[in-house]
Amino acid sequence: MNTPRSSTLMAAAALATAALALPGAAHAEDPATPGRFVDPVGVRVPAARTLANFAEPVALAADAVLGLESADLDARSYDVPGQIVVDARDDLDGSELLSLASSAGLTFVPTVLADQTRIHVASVPPGSEQQVMELLAKDPRVEAVEPLARVRAFFAPNDPLLKEQWHLERVGATRAWDFATGRGVTVAVVDTGIACETHGPFNKGTDLASTSCVPGWNFIANSEHASDDHGHGTHVAGTIAQSTHNGLGAAGMAFHARLMPVKVLNENGWATTASVADGIRWAADHGAHVINLSLGGPRNSKILQSAVDHALSRGAVVIAAAGNSGGAVNYPGASKGVIGVSASGQDDKIARFSSRGEEVDIAAPGVNVTQQTVCNRGRDKCERFQAFSGTSMAAPHVAGAAALVMSLGVSEPQAVEEVLRSTARVVDESEGAKKLYGAGILQAGEAVARVTQVHAAVRIVALLALTAFLARTVARKGRGSTNPWRLSFLLPALAAGPGLFFFAPWVLPRVSLPVDLLARPLADLDLLIGLSVHRWLPLANALIPFGLTALLFGVKPLRPLVAGLAVGTAAYLTSIVVLGEAGGPLGRLALVLWCGLNAAACLWIARTNLVDER
């Protein structure tokens, strides 16, 4: 039965399809040369208004109504006619790249990060894409070649503004804030931009006023000003880190996290696989610890997968929306190493539009999600609180939860995913439900509570075991030696190991900075500066106890304090090895060796301070 609504949808889809089918050969001019550019849909537009000036063509298309797609999308549905992506070997220089292009009769247009990636876009006659790709695939100078494909924002705006954010309560956000608020973690939102700054016609969102934003990048305008001219990215960012407890508007999952705006989607909500890949790489290389991708398309792009692999190698957690087709999971949501997120409603059932499949890792609320967003293309200080629906709205709940977990020192991407999956709430135990929910519905409160409990337990056990070992060693030395079972030893040991007030989150919320400081071990204080700093463990090594020993050894009453600090540090280092959830900048083996050597050195320092060798 055709209703007026379905007729409208069909008409809009037909118009979009017709627009995409317009004939025309796409040719990108030299990015340094002013002029005109024939975009991938064959409409001639001024070069100043395209990405040709910025070395990368972009696919322009009409936004699909409500962000909903057909369930039978195949990988070719979003391919840009007459455009392919070539990933050349990284060791090729400019002349070799020119030779490669000439041998295939092509002109390469570099992507924004082509100097690093050797990824270029080439224009070919429409219909000859497969033939040219087969030819290039045989060339040993080419690592990968594939169609240039569009990706798009996944959202479906809903009608009235909801007064309550049911979705935050459903994932346990209020409980989570007792244990973590995201301090020290940077979350990149690779999207349409964020209302993070006041610049030109754009303004910082009023309910992002107390949210910290770090510098980002605009891949559409090739500038550092990644303002939102669409509204999707600001809404997504609000779920992650909307300013909270400010008496205004809505709340966010990890409101003390830092937002990094990376604009790859144009004002119509479209981008290409190449530009999204560039955005992922840029975010990872500029300090993002979590990367949110509320976008996607049906093309299983090797270019995207390579960018995801790069981000994972830099220690970033990559989270993506599953898609809104109700069919197969889109990419990068289905890409290897990415946490793919489906959308659930207030009844905990999977939303009818949510894509599904084995690639779904976890579900999160994605229906009637209320956050602040911009209107009027982000201009004239136009903003509103609006309820959107889509897997785009589900993914940032998981990104915010990942930021909460990482702010507690869990920095290995696989460990973060395991925490989120193992604490998810199972609502359907049937085998088929795994394709809908993955591990279950996100429970951020349970995730951070469990991490806090496990950290405290392991560090206390390690501290007690090391103190007992040290006590036996000291006892053998007989008279003159100091027994470690005293407050002057145990208090600094607790401060350095599990944290002097490790139990604080069960009494007072860590929203307050003083409470957060007291609840953390001394070695975790650098997390407040940033997770990137903490990965080097500058406060968890033998240098500090050694320096204090050199300064204070002559003051005998202070020796137990230094010894306690040393043993507490050794307990903390032991917990890192036992838990296996921290990522080191030089790899797992180097981290284990560092922790083992420094823990042994700390025990030696403690023994030196407690034993009187005279």
pLDDT in tens, 113-127: 999 999 999 999 998
186-191 and 258-263 beta bridge pairing: parallel
Q: How crowded is the C-beta side of 292, counted as CA atoms within 13 Å? A: 38
Q: Looking at per-residue confidence, does 163 or 358 come out higher?
A: 358
Question: Which position among 39, 87, 191, 228 bears the catalytic label?
Answer: 191
For residue 132, give both structure tokens: 């040219």
User: In the annotation, is 612 catalytic?
Assistant: no
Give the CA count within 13 Å in the CB-facing half-sphere of 340. 27
Is residue 191 annotated as part of the catalytic site, yes or no? Answer: yes
What is the average pLDDT score of the chain? 86
pLDDT at residue 30 greater than cutoff 50: no
Rounded-to-integer distance, Cα 363 and Cα 343, Å: 6
Render pLDDT for 177-217 as a digit per residue (tens, 0 to 9): 999 999 999 999 999 999 999 999 999 999 999 999 999 99
Chain-centre distance of CA 201, in angstroms? Answer: 28
What does the alpha-carbon distance between residue 130 and residue 448 come to, in Å, rounded to a whole number? 49
Task: Give me the percent of the chain exceeding a pLDDT of 90.
Answer: 74
The mean pLDDT value for 143-156 works out to 78
What confidence category does residue 343 fall into, taking pLDDT thresholds of 50, 70 and 90?
very high
pLDDT at 78: 83
What pTM value is reported for the model?
0.83
- The pLDDT of 538-554, averaged and rounded, is 94
pLDDT of 243 higher than 60: yes
pLDDT over 60 at 3, yes or no: no
How confident is the model at residue 246, as a pLDDT? 84
Q: How many helices (H) and strands (E) does the chain have?
A: 19, 19
- Top pLDDT among 12 and 157 is at 12
Range with the poorest average pLDDT among 10-14, 170-174, 245-249, 486-490: 10-14
Residue 5 pLDDT class (50, 70, 90 cuts): very low
* pLDDT value for 506: 87
Question: For residue 55, what pLDDT is reported?
Answer: 29
Q: What's the average model confidence in pLDDT over 286-299?
A: 96
Domains and CATH numbers, the chain: 79-149 (3.30.70.80), 162-442 (3.40.50.200), 448-610 (no CATH)
| Strand-pair category, 369-374 with 360-365 | unpaired
Active-site option among 232, 256, 397, 534:
232
Instruction: Please pick, among 392, 411, 532, 575, the residue that the annotation labels catalytic.
Output: 392
